[in-house]
Amino acid sequence: MAANYVIHDVAIFDGERLLDGRHTVVIDAGRIADILPAGAVPASLLGEARSSGRLVAGDGRTLLPGLIDLHVHLTWSAGADPVATLALETPEQTLLRSVGHGLAQRDAGITTVRDLGSPHDLAIRLAEAVAAGWVPGPRIVASGRTLIMTGGHDPFWGLMVDGPAEALKGVRTQLFAGAQVIKVSATGGVYGRAAGEAVDDVELLPEELAIITQQAHRRGVKVAAHAIGEEGITNCLDAGVDTIEHGHFLTREQARRMADAGTILVPTLFVYQQVAGAAGVPEYASAKARAIVERHREAVAIARDAGVRIGAGSDAGSPGTPHPSLVEEIECLVGAGLPPTEALAAATSIAAEALGLEGEIGRVRAGLAADLILVEGDPTTSVAALRHVTHVWQSGRLTVRPM
């Protein structure tokens, strides 16, 4: 068997659990061709891989699926006030800076990101450029502009719609623009506007959310909903959205509904801790974050108790939340009560399901795309091992290797 790469004698976290024993993974034509017990690999395969320079020795490391961050903003700077930074830049400057943010994500082992808001649909254009091979970066699933009510959350990249007719026009506009996910704002938020926005404000109405979700689903596109307050979360669940972003005031009844429907919670714990305490963040945002950060951890516990699947999203680019911040988010999930294997699944197999890409990425499984990372140590005992990435493969291409 000819192979592009042979990763020999490694521990494997397959996206759900740590496999027993040590294994060898064969990559061919961009996909995982085979997974063999390390002691049962033909000598000819190892010899051929060694002579061609395509043999990677495990050396006590762990192989995982490439990580997936379900909530980023590549156009945001991660400074104390990213909205102010956007206002100082041309769209061209913002796009160029976003390329660097994407590279930083990839080099940290994050091979896929879901970008949930960008001005001028810039993240959609960047996603197309990466897919075409024009620039390096992670796979990007992008919403472009978000659908909001007039004056709603995140107006700097929002497409404002009022009433079902405009909501229909808005979702069709974003689908035509190339959005691979639709982002809606169902409630107010913490950061973005100094006045006129409370976290539990109901923004898009039930009938607006319903027609947006219906139309997106007709095109096979998922819907992610920014929803902090209880009433807004209910409206999203009634509409049938696919993921709830943030979900601070999630109730036990809502969690039961989510578990029954398969709706995924992407809590983004880390960013709210940062906004609450990072230096230089506008005080209006810090004050709102401080008021809800403890309730946020409670919401994660409620969701987990009800059997809700939890996905990992960092909100990277937001105030004090660098590109990348996914490891910090995974650590927050562990701090909120998830065992390390569940927190890792939140950034691999469950995240792939949230994207509708479970048949392509998110697991170490024969036949799937070879989006893989190799890390020092065992992240199933300490997720901090994710900070020590030595190799990154994207569709079988080794894009990060030891210097």
Please check whether residues 376 and 393 belong to one and the same domain.
Answer: yes
Provide the mean pLDDT of the chain. Answer: 97
Whether residues 157 and 282 share a domain: the answer is: yes
Q: Residues 335, 373: one domain? A: no
- Rounded CA gap, 270 and 387, in Å? 16
- Judgement on whether residues 342 and 276 belong to the same structural domain of the protein: yes
- Closest by CA to 23, choosing from 41, 42, 36, 4, is 36
Beta bridge partners of 67: 110
Same domain for 98 and 244?
yes
| Domain-ending residue, one of 338, 355, 372 | 355
Same domain, 214 and 144: yes
CA distance 155 to 152: 6
> Sign of the CA dihedral 372, 378, 379, 385?
negative
Residues 228 and 188 placed together within one structural domain of the fold: yes
The two most distant CA atoms of the chain are separated, in Å, by: 68
Q: Which of 377, 369, 375, 259 is nearest to 308 (CA)?
A: 259
Interval 146-201: pLDDT, tens: 999 999 999 999 999 999 999 999 999 999 999 999 999 999 999 988 888 999 99
Assign residue 386 the CATH number of its domain.
2.30.40.10
Please tell me the distance from the alpha carbon of residue 108 to that of residue 75, in angstroms, as a whole number. Answer: 18
Q: Which of 52-61, 237-246, 367-376 has the lowest mean pLDDT?
A: 52-61
Pair (91, 237) in one structural domain: yes
The pLDDT, as a whole number, for residue 104 is: 98
Residue 269 CB neighbour total at 10 angstroms = 25
The pLDDT of residue 76 is 98
Q: Do 113 and 141 touch, CB atoms closer than 8 A?
A: yes
Name the residue range of residue 152's domain.
67-355
pLDDT tens, position by position, 257-289:
999 999 999 999 999 999 999 899 999 999 999
Same domain flag for 79 and 99: yes
CATH number at residue 269: 3.20.20.140
Q: How far, in Å, CA of 53 to CA of 50, rounded?
A: 5
Contact 117, 146 (CB under 8 A): yes
Q: What is the pLDDT of residue 1?
A: 47
Tell me the mean pLDDT in the region 381-386. 98
Same domain, 19 and 155: no
Check whether residue 124 and residue 136 sit in a common domain.
yes
- Structural domain total, the chain: 2
| Helix pair angle (122-132, 91-107), 10° resolution | 50
Q: What is the pLDDT of residue 168?
A: 98
Instruction: Give the model's pLDDT for residue 192.
Output: 87
Residue 195 confidence (pLDDT): 87
Residue 2 reports pLDDT greater than 60: no
Which of 135, 224, 138, 130 has its CA nearest to residue 174?
224
pLDDT one-digit tens code per residue, 64-120: 999 999 999 999 999 999 999 999 999 999 999 999 999 999 999 999 999 999 999
Q: Is the peptide bond before 324 cis (omega within 30 degrees of 0)?
A: yes
- Same-domain status, 94 and 61: no
| Residue-level pLDDT at 324 | 98
Please say whether the dihedral angle defined by the alpha carbons of residues 297, 251, 72 and 384, taken in this order, is positive or negative.
Answer: positive
Q: Whole-model pTM? A: 0.98
Q: Which two tokens stand for residue 110?
A: 């994050």
